[in-house]
Amino acid sequence: MTKTGKVLTGVGGLILLLLAATVVLIMTFDWNRLKPTINEKVSAELQRPFAIRGNLGVDWSRKSDEPGWRGWVPWPNIHAEDLVLGNPPELVSDKTADDKIAATAFPAGEMVTLKRVDASIAPLALLAKEVWIPRIWLTQPDANLLRLANGKNNWTFNLANSPKEGEQPSSWSVNIDDIVFDRGAISLNDAMLKADLHAVIDPLGKPLPFAEVTGSSTEKKGQPPADSAQSNTADYVFGWKIDGKYQGQSLTGSGKMGGMLSMSDASRPFPLQADLRSGSTRVAVAGTLTDPGNLAGLDLQLKFSGASLDNLYPLIGVLLPATPPYNTDGRLVASLKQADGAVYRYENFNGKIGDSDIHGNLTYTASQPRPKLTGNMSSEKLRFADLAPLIGADSNQEKARRGERNRQPANKVLPTEKFDTKSWGVMDADVTYTAKRIERDKSLPLNDLSTHVVLNSGELLLDPLRFGMAGGSLNATLRLNGNKDPMQGKVDLHARRLQLKALLPQVKAMRNSLGQLNGDASFTATGNSVAALLATSNGSLRLLLNQGLISRSLMELLGLNVGNYLVAKLFGDDEVKINCAVADIQLRNGLATPRLFVVDTENAMISITGNINFATERLDLTINPESKGLRILTLRSPLYVKGTFKQPDAGVKAGPLIARGAIAAVLGVALTPAAALLALISPSEAEANQCTPLLQKIKQKK
């Protein structure tokens, strides 16, 4: 062998020896010596305490499934035990005596603990500057997530060496194919959400296909069939349970979800199934998340039920009215990365509120300065009693059925239940609602309902609020300003062509009546209940009744004992036809005073004077009858109606006699009311309407 050959052989042998020594050193090296350096470097990079407190080691083994010569290359299998990641320096969680979350500026506690982590690294991929980890095994991971009232949290990382703006990112990449763990636990203490939740996550044993769990829920009526995106949905891998408090209310639940790595795959829907309970409220969802790593969107079949819709506000942040018990089922689709705020669409939902059905589409936009709810709802059948809680008019029996205490005073007739206006300013709304058929007591002649509800910056507008009623219509515009305390309100109401025989359908005698009722009302008021609004009302009320009838038996059927007495005194027991009844009533601070209140019957003209006090719920009325032609009436003194709404009292006034010509005197000062009341008569029916000659006569008086 030449000298050059010997030198090359020696150098080659030395290199092989060094390589062998390096391999032996690496394979026999005590990696625990690097723990202080690793702990220090990771802590500095994450800017929070990190430590591997247990054993750190590397095992080497070949991968038999690697093709060709690659199968001879040993892979490093890294394992570390007892790992701890602390909170950032500005965060600490502590429980105060009243079980609330407090925070100080001192670091304390652990954000994440791991009993053990195992990972294999592909060595040949390192040559291409890629850290490829086919799988990471986690043993008993435990995370404690914290968020303070100022919004700071411990799950947001500010890396010390993250690229600055304009700098080129690192040429190295990290790819992890899968993450598995045996049993995990997550705690969330969130001061902003008033949440103190604890979740346990377990592997299901074997993956469950998405369709096997959700069934055909995505193919319900009104919804598209499952598409290719759903067929690409990842399997359910983990089951979970949760309990604790959310928004100060108890919360429990369970469900299933996909694997950890499928959360980072933006092209593949991530499966989620949950069943949550908070008090009487239950929420069940099944569907998918889009790009869950960035929480870009969701597509879920959503069912929820409970004692009242207003109980949902602490849970979902959507302001809804108080209602009877409800349940609903629909499709929830959300786009969470919109410039103007996340958009949630609850599509083609069906359900019940009380005994009323409900259907529709709603869209909730998390916009600024306030979120907004828009959409349309409808009912085939609306039970009128289910509307009562919305206006505070539900009875004490209804409250007792819902387990609420009776708040309506026993001596009051007008509803005293207060409107909850404090939450009106948290959300805007623009929603239409129609009810094709109203189920109600036979004495309530309502047929259908349609309304347009607009809530804007704490001000509520219902325009129109329309009822089909007794063959005619009742149209109203209602404005309520919840920013004022007490609340300010304004009502404009118009009743047109209400047929008398349909207005009192349970009264057999009224079936022969051919007349109708028209009316207008307009008033403003302040107050936080129906009773308070009426007690402060200012405005006017005009009514015109044509071709009706009245009798003592009619009053008995209506349960009006005072009316029964008055009719008996005026007419005896006979049925008396009413040619026309007109009223123009002025409202001032809750005191209703008739400027004109006249009833023209076939044998008498009757005027009513006095007042009705809505603030005190008291009556003080005087009824003056004057016979036409023959003295059919023998009553020589006026009648009175006094007392409270709850216990009215009627009788004959002692002392004064009915003055001759008293009715003519009343009509002589009623020029302005008469002109206004004539406007309630349709031009097409002016000649047939019995009120036309009466009002024209009044109008012509000087």
- Residues 417 and 408: beta-carbon distance below 8 Å: yes
Counts for the chain of helices (H) and strands (E), in that order = 14, 37
Residue 647 lies in a domain: yes
The residue range of the domain holding 579 is 537-701
Residue 369 lies in a domain: no
Tell which residue, 50, 39, 42, has the closest CA to residue 161.
42
Tell me the C-alpha to C-alpha distance, in Å, between residue 172 and each of 37, 129, 168, 169, 386: 21, 5, 12, 9, 64
Tell which residue, 345, 264, 257, 259, has the closest CA to residue 298.
345
Q: Which phi and psi angles does 203 have, rounded to 5°?
A: -65, 145
Our count of domains for the chain comes to 2
Residue 414's identity, in one-letter code, is: L
CA distance 51 to 123: 25
* Tokens, residue 113: 């603990």
Residue 149 lies in a domain: yes
Burial class (CB in 10 A: 0-12, 13-18, 19+), 5: exposed
Share of residues in the chain with pLDDT > 90 (%): 24
Residue 512 lies in a domain: no
Confidence (pLDDT) at 390: 55
Which residues of the chain, if any, have pLDDT below 50? Answer: 94-107, 216-229, 391-400, 402, 631-632, 702
Residue 204 lies in a domain: no
3-state secondary structure string, 662-692? HHHHHHHCCHHHHHHHHCCCCHHHCCCCCHH
Give the global pTM: 0.71
Tell which residue, 244, 214, 199, 2, has the closest CA to residue 99.
244
- Residues 238 and 261: beta-carbon distance below 8 Å: no
Instruction: Give pLDDT tens digits for 306-360.
Output: 988 888 877 777 777 778 899 999 999 988 878 788 899 999 999 998 888 999 9
Tell which residue, 353, 333, 249, 248, has the closest CA to residue 285.
333
The DSSP string of 175-234 is: EE--EEES-EEEEEEETTTTEEEEEEEEEEEEEE-HHHHHTTGGGSTTSPPP-HHHHTPP
CB atoms < 10 A from the CB of 672, how many? 12
Residue 241 lies in a domain: no
CA distance 435 to 468: 10
Instruction: Give pLDDT tens digits for 612-646.
Output: 999 999 989 888 887 765 544 555 678 888 888 88
Distance of CA 211 to the CA centre of its chain: 30
Q: Are strands 184-190 and 142-147 parallel, antiparallel or unpaired?
A: parallel
- Residues 441 and 374: beta-carbon distance below 8 Å: no
The DSSP string of 525-581 is: EE-SSHHHHHHT-EEEEEEEEEEEEE-HHHHHHHT-HHHHHHHHHHHTTS-EEEEEE
Confidence (pLDDT) at 490: 93
Residue 277 has, within 13 A of its CA and on its CB side, a CA count of 6
CB atoms < 10 A from the CB of 605, how many? 20
Q: Note if the bond before 486 is cis, omega within 30 degrees.
A: yes
CA distance 649 to 619: 9
Distance of CA 675 to the CA centre of its chain: 47
Confidence (pLDDT) at 218: 43
- Residues 604 and 631: beta-carbon distance below 8 Å: no
Residue 270 lies in a domain: no
Residue 125 lies in a domain: yes
CA distance 670 to 663: 11
Instruction: Give pLDDT tens digits for 537-571.
Output: 999 999 888 887 776 666 665 566 676 667 776 76
Q: Which phi and psi angles does 676 have, rounded to 5°?
A: -70, -40
Query: What 3-state class would DSSP assign to 249?
Result: strand
